[in-house]
């Protein structure tokens, strides 16, 4: 459920009681947005923390390090499981960093580590990046030309799907031609790279 | 041009320009972390490999100019004294972390000190750009141009799904940290900032003190930056940050109005007392100095103190730091000696204004 909280500062001196405990005065005011619907929330510090409206900075500020060490420091040696054992022994062919070392320092040794440890990476990335595992940002200009074309192709394809659903066939035909052209470009380029 | 150029002025040339909302936002920064695909990362690489990176950057970029950024000066960190390193950290031209890795680390800085590229920090390359006031989007455009310029000669470690492959999993994806330095005296005075911080954290942003991670919010200066680098485009990350910063600006302005309305005399008293301390004290610690400077700057913004330039906050905040004081004295100073020199430099600086 896409939901987020927007902090609101209440002007003036009016005191509102906390809507959770109805005892203490509310000190935090939010606009909560759930699926586009807005609700005003006024709670006290204690309830805000208990009900999970906020995580407090003293807990959050250094959490990254704790979080990482927490993630990496599970003890696999005691578990008699061949898959886990294999993961533990994984070693990067380029920089020789092992998965055990990676867990310990929380840092990669080289670009190839990402490939070497790829099976174990997504859960870690999800926790660090609020559930995300895929990059949607900039692509290198020179090295990323192919990727750029593939992204554009995917964009056209979803556009085409949309247009067909909306029965906008004339425009759909145009987009289809653009797809064909782009696909031909990609094929030519691949042929060129392999030559 | 020599290193002296960067060491002598507390205030960087770009700070002299006034940016949007510069009564509250001191500066906007974009940092991009980049690595070279074929070379192990600095935490694990052999010295010869890191020397390759250093030499490549020196050969291709030392003394070059790009767009409006002129004469990039290449500075190997091992050639710096402890005090010189400290001054560069205090001016935010290098990170404390770069100052620690000395052997093969280096920095390349544009003449106007707006762009600095750190070599062999935690990542092979860290591109940093600073702009006065709130101009994150502009800073992002310019950072991308510098990034493309570097990519002409450097093969970046990049993956279609994971993005820019950084040393730390907390930077992977965009490799970008966008941050804004804000002066929020009224929100601090009314205690509102402490109530807002949890909500800001909730939005995937971090609030820190002026010198980054773990540092105190000296002089009511807060640094707000994005925490998440994966799953969102750079433009979206910057947009989210900017909207929170705009809200903070509104809240700060409202809080200033409120104080001016409710207790103008107490506020004036506080501002002029701080001015008095800065103008007349003979011994001053950096914490007291920071707080007084913050109050004086608030007084300037509210029109209570006239004929003093706004830049005073930017300038004095660097001038009063231990590294800069010792560079000025040209020797190592005890903490008491620093407090004396600090007081005298501040007095001198304030007299310049009148």
- What is the percent of chain A where pLDDT is above 70? 64
A55/B40 Cβ within 8 A? no
Task: Reply yes or no on whether the pLDDT at A103 is more than 50.
Answer: yes
Q: What are phi and psi of A158, to 5 degrees?
A: -70, -30
Look at B123 and A62; give whichever has higher pLDDT: B123
Question: What are the helix (H) ranges across B263-334?
Answer: 264-280, 286-301, 312-319, 322-329
Asked if B78 and B65 count as a contact pair (C-beta separation under 8 A), the reply is no
Task: Please give the structure tokens belonging to residue B330.
Answer: 């040209």
Is residue B93 within a helix (H) or strand (E), and if so which, with residue range? none
Give mean pLDDT, residues B287-315.
Answer: 91
- Beta strands at B221-226 and A3-7: parallel, antiparallel or unpaired: unpaired
C-alpha to C-alpha distances, B115 to A51, B12, B139, B156, B319, nearest whole angstrom: 44, 11, 10, 19, 21
Task: Please give the structure tokens belonging to residue A2.
Answer: 């896409």
Give mean pLDDT, residues B62-69.
Answer: 91
Q: What are phi and psi of B100, to 5 degrees?
A: -80, -40
In this predicted structure, what is the pLDDT of residue A78? Answer: 43
Q: What is the pTM of this model?
A: 0.78
How far is Cα B39 from Cα B303, in angstroms, rounded to an integer?
Answer: 55
Contacts of B59 (CB under 8 A, 6+ apart): none
In this predicted structure, what is the pLDDT of residue A36? Answer: 60
Task: Please give the structure tokens belonging to residue B139.
Answer: 């800073």
Give mean pLDDT, residues B11-29.
Answer: 91
For the complex shown, is ipTM > 0.90?
no
- On chain B, the residues whose CB falls within 8 A of the CB of A48 are 198
In this predicted structure, what is the pLDDT of residue A137? Answer: 94
Task: Reply yes or no on whether the pLDDT at A85 is more than 60.
Answer: no
Q: Is B197 on the interface with A (CB under 8 A)?
A: yes
Task: Reply yes or no on whether the pLDDT at B264 is more than 70.
Answer: yes
A135/B161 Cβ within 8 A? yes
B202/A55 Cβ within 8 A? yes
Taking only the tens place, the pLDDT of each residue in B167-178 is 999 999 999 999
Nearest by CB: B197 against A57, A114, A135: A57
* Residue in chain A lying closest to B212 (CA): A61
Q: Is A153 on the interface with B (CB under 8 A)?
A: no
How far is Cα A124 from Cα B223, in angstroms, rounded to an integer?
Answer: 26
Give mean pLDDT, residues B314-322.
Answer: 89
Least confident segment among B166-180, B281-295, B304-318: B304-318
B45/A94 Cβ within 8 A? no
Q: Which residues of B45-80 are buried (b: 16+ CB within 10 A; e: fewer)?
A: beeebbebbbebbeeebeeeeeeebeebbbbebeeb
In this predicted structure, what is the pLDDT of residue A8? Answer: 58
What average pLDDT does chain B have? 92
* Residue in chain B lying closest to A8 (CA): B196
A109/B233 Cβ within 8 A? no
A9/B192 Cβ within 8 A? yes
Asked if B229 and B174 count as a contact pair (C-beta separation under 8 A), the reply is yes
Least confident segment among A66-70, B153-157, B279-283, B300-304: A66-70
């Amino acid at each position: 459920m896409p939901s987020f909280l927007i902090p609101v500062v209440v002007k003036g001196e009016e005191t509102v009681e906390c809507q959770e405990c109805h005892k203490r005065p509310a000190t935090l005011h939010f606009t909560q947005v759930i699926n586009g619907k807005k609700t005003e929330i006024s709670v006290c510090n204690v309830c805000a923390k208990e009900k999970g409206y906020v995580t407090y900075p003293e807990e959050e500020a250094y959490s990254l390090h704790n979080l990482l060490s927490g993630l990496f420091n599970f003890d696999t040696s005691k578990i008699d499981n061949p898959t886990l054992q294999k993961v533990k022994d994984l070693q990067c062919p380029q920089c020789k960093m092992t998965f055990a070392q990676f867990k310990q320092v929380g840092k990669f040794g080289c670009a190839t580590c990402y490939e070497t440890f790829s099976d174990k990476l997504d859960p870690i990335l999800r926790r660090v990046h609020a559930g995300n595992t895929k990059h949607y940002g900039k692509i290198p200009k020179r090295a990323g030309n192919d990727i750029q074309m593939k992204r554009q192709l995917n964009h056209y394809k979803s556009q085409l799907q949309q247009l067909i659903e909306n029965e906008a066939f004339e425009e759909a035909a145009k987009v289809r031609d653009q797809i064909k052209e782009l696909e031909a470009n990609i094929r030519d380029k691949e042929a060129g790279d392999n030559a | 041009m020599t290193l002296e150029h960067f060491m002598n002025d507390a205030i960087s040339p770009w700070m002299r320009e006034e940016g949007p909302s510069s009564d509250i936002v001191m500066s906007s920064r974009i940092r991009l972390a980049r690595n070279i695909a074929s070379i192990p990362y600095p935490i694990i690489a052999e010295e010869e490999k890191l020397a390759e990176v250093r030499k490549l950057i020196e050969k291709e970029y030392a003394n070059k100019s790009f767009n409006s950024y002129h004469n990039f000066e290449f500075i190997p960190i091992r050639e710096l004294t402890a005090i010189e390193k400290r001054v560069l950290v205090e001016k935010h031209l290098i990170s404390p972390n770069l100052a620690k890795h000395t052997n093969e680390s280096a920095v390349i800085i544009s003449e106007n000190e707006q762009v600095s590229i750190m070599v062999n920090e935690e990542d092979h390359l860290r591109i940093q750009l600073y702009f006065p006031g709130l101009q994150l989007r502009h800073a992002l455009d310019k950072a991308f141009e510098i990034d493309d310029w570097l990519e002409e000669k450097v093969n970046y470690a990049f993956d279609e799904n994971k993005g820019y492959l950084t040393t730390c999993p907390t930077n992977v994806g965009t490799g970008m940290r966008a941050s804004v330095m804000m002066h929020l005296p009224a929100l601090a005075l009314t205690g509102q900032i402490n109530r807002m911080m949890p909500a800001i954290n909730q939005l995937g942003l971090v609030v820190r003190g002026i010198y980054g991670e773990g540092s105190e919010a000296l002089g009511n200066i807060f640094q707000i930056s994005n925490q998440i680098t994966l799953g969102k485009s750079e433009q979206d990350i910057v947009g989210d940050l900017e909207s929170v910063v705009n809200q903070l600006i509104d809240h700060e302005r409202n809080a200033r109005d409120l104080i001016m309305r409710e207790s103008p005399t107490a506020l004036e008293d506080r501002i002029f007392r701080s001015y008095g301390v800065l103008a007349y004290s003979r011994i001053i610690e950096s914490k007291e100095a920071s707080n007084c400077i913050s109050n004086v700057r608030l007084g300037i913004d509210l029109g209570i103190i006239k004929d003093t330039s706004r830049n005073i906050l930017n300038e004095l905040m660097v001038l009063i730091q231990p590294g800069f004081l010792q560079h000025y004295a040209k020797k190592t100073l005890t903490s008491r000696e620093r407090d004396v020199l600090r007081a005298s430099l501040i007095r001198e600086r304030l007299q310049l204004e009148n």
